[in-house]
A and B are shown apart, each in its own frame.
Chain A
Amino acid sequence: MEQKTYIKGVGMTKFDYSQKHWWQLAYEAAIEALKDAKMNISEIDAIVFTGMSSASGGEHQTHKVSLLSGLFKVNIPIIETPSVCGGGGVAFWTALHLQGFKNILVLAGERLVDNKSEVVTDEILSAAERVIEQPEGMLFPVQNALVWQMYAKKYGGSTDDLSLIAFKNHQNAALNPNAYFYKRPMDLEKVKNSPEVASPLRLMDCSLSVNGGAAVILSHEETDIEVIGSGFATDFLMTFEREDMTHFHATRKASKMAYEQAGVGPKDINVAEIHDAFTSVELLSYEDLGFAEEGRGGELIRSGKINLNGEMPINPSGGLKAKGHPISATGLAQIYEITKQLRGECGERQAKNAKIGLTHNIGGAGGSVTVHIFKKK
């Protein structure tokens, strides 16, 4: 980032099972972001869009940029940057690196959950290795269950810690009107006794696939929220081909880049939104992002420091786990949350003294990772 970049506006839809089209969800989020920025669409110089939008019912559209041109009645450059679950972060990273545009709308809309769960699962699995790993039974929960087992074998590790993560995120989501589990906190015992899907991961260790849209307006015009760090790294599609299966190397690399650029370290972060596609991923990410030492992520969740009333709340929005995970929209919804936290606009789920915030967005099982750091003026 050669020029200073700021967040001018944010918007998102409620995350749920709405059967609105992906472009309707994107449009709603964009309108909210424009209102938040007190801007008109004519002031936007470019749009970066991301989405899987598989819509297994048959309305899949690959020429989305043209559809968006008609939707917003603009003829500006529109770029699409698909990167599955990490699409939001990658779109944001792309917008940060675009030269010659003052105001950029970064946008996502997903209606992936529109069919039987087996069909939706299969659509989501197109984000993972189809030829070698999936025929061997590697669905995302299975892959992550095995990664967790490799971690537990190396460092020890208790599934009770994973339950605490699910419990924390559900408590937070209950306070977030945009979360699927708003006003529906989850009992810890219910988390621990939920059905096993891929041992040792249980249903309540898995994030919730939902539909939704999110939007962020980036600007080179100064606002109260500055983007101070940005990192993007990739890794092999096949989890078990990587040198170290117990952690996500791309998270480590992306966060190192973001911290260096921002001139801050993990201890300076006051609030974070982490990609908790599975509770085990959140725990491993504590270590990959430098919030905990290697093998000691469990201690962090047990300490209470990352609860909403702790020193550095993690996933105050409820995370993917309980706010919901509309694939590509997730990364932008994380930025929405951190922007609102830094502005002090989060009401009941407001983190204390939030001055510097971090977002961490993963595509696939650690195949593409972005980390962004934001600072309140």
Chain B
Amino acid sequence: MEVVVSSKVSIPSLSHMNVPYFANVVKDEKGNFFAYKSEEKIDKVELKSNPDSVAIFKVKYDIIEGLENIFKLLEVSLNENSKILVIPTLVSAGYTYMRENTSPEFLEAVLDFLLEKKVNIKVGTQSFNDIPVEGLAQKSGLLDVCLKKSITPFDLGKSNFIKKEELELSEEVLNADLVLNLSVLKAGKAASTDNIFKVLKKENYSGLKYLQSEKEISEKLSKTLSNVVTVGEAETVQRKNGIAKYLGLMFGGKSFLNVDAIFNRVIMNKNVPETIKEINPESIIVSGRSIMEVEQDIDI
């Protein structure tokens, strides 16, 4: 996409606090015009992919467009008949607007995206609290979405678990070609990391958390699992006070820890959780949009 005209912006606003930046009108190969923010003066827009990056994409109403671009930026291709395990976030018996669980719209877009690739899809997670996962799935609307797509979700907690050193991992996770970790990104949380804990046997997770820490569990999981891609839902996100705020982004990455670190940097959160405290976001490769282009203090 070529830049047609460009303006150097020198006035800060709530959504764009760091100035100067460049606001451009760009034209694509079909002759469509778009607005596009850049950190530097540019002549054309090139989205460079990198498999080791955290990918950032601006969602413009179309979630599937976001998913396609996240996969492209991470250079992840899906082969026909490959086995995909989708792990949605399901932590409370709450409606979508609470921004606690994966939204039904997001899960539906993910399933449509995967169905189009003709892959074998399984959807499963488990409850780490007192409410059975079936109850959570029903209240959140995720059960309906799965049934609509003729997919019967299952309780990951009832699957076989295989011991790998200190970790007891679900067999479903180890058998999958790709595990899709659907996190619901929240300010001040390591939401992608929290969701991937669901691949562990509940008792194993609780024990390790008591004896060690979530940070140590996450590092061990990170080293053990090589088939995970995290897609972070961040169109409307929870602030630290729980109130939702529109952000309009989607994140992706093969490292769930890096996705959480970049998300917290983008929303300018200074009190990052222990799990990712030692990760320097500046050391992480970012693809798609730069941090400066999308950063926003969502607590304002």
CA distance A241 to B34 in the complex (A): 7
CB of B7 within 8 A of CB of A198, answer: yes
Query: How near does chain A come to B267, taking the closest CB pair, in angstroms?
Result: 13
Task: Say if the beta carbon of B184 comes within 8 Å of chain A.
Answer: no
CA distance A11 to B144 in the complex (A): 59
Query: A150 touches which one: B4, B61, B246 (CB < 8 A)?
Result: B4
CB of A146 within 8 A of CB of B7, answer: yes
Query: How near does chain A come to B100, taking the closest CB pair, in angstroms?
Result: 23
Query: A135 touches which one: B8, B33, B248 (CB < 8 A)?
Result: B248
Check A134/B5 contact, CB under 8 A, given A197-B10, A240-B35, A245-B33.
Answer: no
CB of B7 within 8 A of CB of A240, answer: no
Task: Say if the beta carbon of B132 comes within 8 Å of chain A.
Answer: no
Query: B12 touches which one: A118, A130, A146 (CB < 8 A)?
Result: A118
CA distance A276 to B35 in the complex (A): 23
Task: Say if the beta carbon of B186 comes within 8 Å of chain A.
Answer: no
Task: Say if the beta carbon of B201 comes within 8 Å of chain A.
Answer: no
Residues of B within 8 A of A133 (CB): 35
Check A142/B15 contact, CB under 8 A, given A131-B61, A240-B34, A240-B35.
Answer: no
Query: B33 touches which one: A130, A137, A201, A241 (CB < 8 A)?
Result: A241
**A109-147 CB contacts (< 8 Å) to partner B:** 118-119, 121-122, 125, 130-139, 141-142, 145-146
**A223-282 CB contacts (< 8 Å) to partner B:** 238, 240-241, 245
Interface residues on chain A, size class: 20 to 34
Task: Say if the beta carbon of B21 comes within 8 Å of chain A.
Answer: yes
Query: How near does chain B come to A141, taking the closest CB pair, in angstroms?
Result: 7
CB of A199 within 8 A of CB of B8, answer: yes
CB of A136 within 8 A of CB of B14, answer: no
Residues of A within 8 A of B7 (CB): 142, 145-146, 149, 198-201
Residues of A within 8 A of B10 (CB): 195-198
CB of B60 within 8 A of CB of A137, answer: no
CA distance A199 to B10 in the complex (A): 8
Task: Say if the beta carbon of A63 comes within 8 Å of chain B.
Answer: no
Query: How near does chain A come to B110, taking the closest CB pair, in angstroms?
Result: 20
CA distance A136 to B25 in the complex (A): 10
**Which A residue's beta carbon lies closest to that of B36?**
A136
CB of B23 within 8 A of CB of A146, answer: yes
CA distance A33 to B237 in the complex (A): 48
Check A137/B14 contact, CB under 8 A, given A130-B246, A240-B33.
Answer: no
CB of B60 within 8 A of CB of A138, answer: no
Check A136/B37 contact, CB under 8 A, given A131-B248, A199-B8, A240-B25.
Answer: yes
Query: How near does chain A come to B55, taking the closest CB pair, in angstroms?
Result: 17
CB of A137 within 8 A of CB of B5, answer: no
Residue among B34, B35, B58 with max Cβ neighbours from chain A (10 Å): B35
CB of B25 within 8 A of CB of A198, answer: no
Task: Say if the beta carbon of A153 comes within 8 Å of chain B.
Answer: yes
Residues of B within 8 A of A238 (CB): 35
CB of B11 within 8 A of CB of A141, answer: yes
CA distance A198 to B6 in the complex (A): 10
CB of B11 within 8 A of CB of A198, answer: yes
Task: Say if the beta carbon of B9 comes within 8 Å of chain A.
Answer: yes
Query: How near does chain A come to B148, taking the closest CB pair, in angstroms?
Result: 26
CB of A131 within 8 A of CB of B60, answer: yes
Task: Say if the beta carbon of B77 comes within 8 Å of chain A.
Answer: no
Check A122/B35 contact, CB under 8 A, given A136-B23, A146-B5.
Answer: no
CB of B60 within 8 A of CB of A121, answer: no
CA distance A132 to B15 in the complex (A): 13
**Which B residue's beta carbon lies closest to that of A138?**
B35
Task: Say if the beta carbon of B245 comes within 8 Å of chain A.
Answer: no
Residues of A within 8 A of B15 (CB): 122, 134-135
Residues of B within 8 A of A146 (CB): 5-7, 23-25, 35
Residues of A within 8 A of B257 (CB): none
CA distance A232 to B241 in the complex (A): 44
Check A198/B33 contact, CB under 8 A, given A131-B60, A142-B9, A149-B7.
Answer: no
Give me the interface of B with A, judged by CB distance under 8 Å.
Answer: 4-16, 21-25, 33-37, 58, 60-61, 246, 248, 294
19 contacts between A and B (CB under 8 A): A118-B12, A118-B14, A122-B15, A134-B15, A135-B15, A136-B36, A142-B7, A146-B6, A149-B7, A149-B25, A150-B25, A153-B4, A153-B5, A195-B10, A198-B9, A198-B10, A198-B23, A199-B7, A201-B7
Extra A-B contacts (12), CB below 8 Å, given A122-B15, A142-B7, A142-B23: A118-B13, A132-B60, A135-B294, A137-B37, A138-B23, A139-B16, A145-B7, A146-B35, A149-B6, A153-B4, A196-B10, A240-B34
